[in-house]
Amino acid sequence: MGAYYARRVAKCGSVCIFLHKSCKFVKIDLNSHCIERDFEICAIKLTNITMNLYILSLYKSPSGNFDMFLAKLEEVLNALFIEPINLIIYGDFNVNFMIDTSKKGQLTSLLKTYNLEYIVNFPTRTVESSETIIDNIFLDTSKYSNFVIEPGINGLSDHDALILTLNVNQHVSCKSTKFVRRYNDFSIKEFQVNLSYENWSSVFHPTCNSDIDEIFNNF
């Protein structure tokens, strides 16, 4: 067991990562970000491969606070992405990816800002009355295009395992240049200062005959 988070109060839940004894890794301590039921996570960094690869395992309880889950997930991602890294996130999100809901939209939109997309499109939990995709894996599909994902039906749980096969040592060639905005405390304050110099009179004090479309265009 390379990393884990164990609950102190509630029963069940928690997360851990097991690795083969040949894997060299370092544990990434994320316990300070964890909140029982809302956001449970652990992580390792593989050190015996050429890529800067981090693996995160997380869990959100069905009764967990979804807004807190999103806020904590973004907090962790911001902490990790202070340097260029490759990231694989997997776990039980308790969000049904089989149907379009606001929770699915918020989660996928957040992870897309880090170029991470979910890859599981088959049911991971099947009961008598329903099938759902509440377990998933997120990764950068532009880097890992030749992967195989399949269910591991083992009879040990009401959830099927997810088996991901990919070549983590593959060389990624950069064919284009991509510019991204850097968000930090300084850039946010600078943006606020720039906004204070803008003239907002046409937005907040429009003419009497202005309609909502004109106000929006002025904005």
* pLDDT score at 88: 96
- Residue 198 located in a structural domain: yes
Which domain covers residue 38, as residue numbers? 3-165
* Overall domain count for the chain: 2
- Residue 180 located in a structural domain: no
Question: Exposed e or buried b for every residue in 11-31, given b needs 16+ CB within 10 A?
Answer: eebbbebeeeeeeebeebebe
191 and 121 within one domain: no
72 and 145 within one domain: yes
- Residue 179 located in a structural domain: no
- Residue 124 located in a structural domain: yes
Rounded CA-CA distance 182/124 in Å is 36
pLDDT in tens, 75-105: 999 999 988 889 999 999 999 999 999 999 9
* pLDDT score at 211: 80
CATH at 110: 3.60.10.10
Q: Is the pLDDT of residue 186 over 50?
A: yes
113 and 20 within one domain: yes
Rounded CA-CA distance 94/126 in Å is 14
Region 185-199: mean pLDDT is 88
Distances from the Cα of 41 to the Cα of 53, 94, 128, angstroms: 17, 14, 30
- Residue 114 located in a structural domain: yes
Lowest pLDDT segment from 79-93, 98-112, 187-201, 202-216 = 202-216
- Residue 174 located in a structural domain: no
160 and 90 within one domain: yes
Rounded CA-CA distance 135/153 in Å is 13
The β-bridge partners of 9 are none
- Residue 106 located in a structural domain: yes
156 and 194 within one domain: no
pLDDT in tens, 129-178: 889 999 999 999 988 878 999 999 888 888 999 999 987 654 445 566 77
Distances from the Cα of 13 to the Cα of 77, 95, 132, 146, 174, angstroms: 22, 16, 19, 32, 40
The residue among 13 and 97 whose pLDDT is bigger is 97
- Residue 171 located in a structural domain: no
Question: Exposed e or buried b for every residue in 128-161, given b needs 16+ CB within 10 A?
Answer: eeeebbbbbbbbeeeebeeeebebeeeeeeeebe
**Whole-prediction pTM value?**
0.75
152 and 44 within one domain: yes
Q: What share of the chain has pLDDT > 70, as a percent?
A: 94
141 and 209 within one domain: no
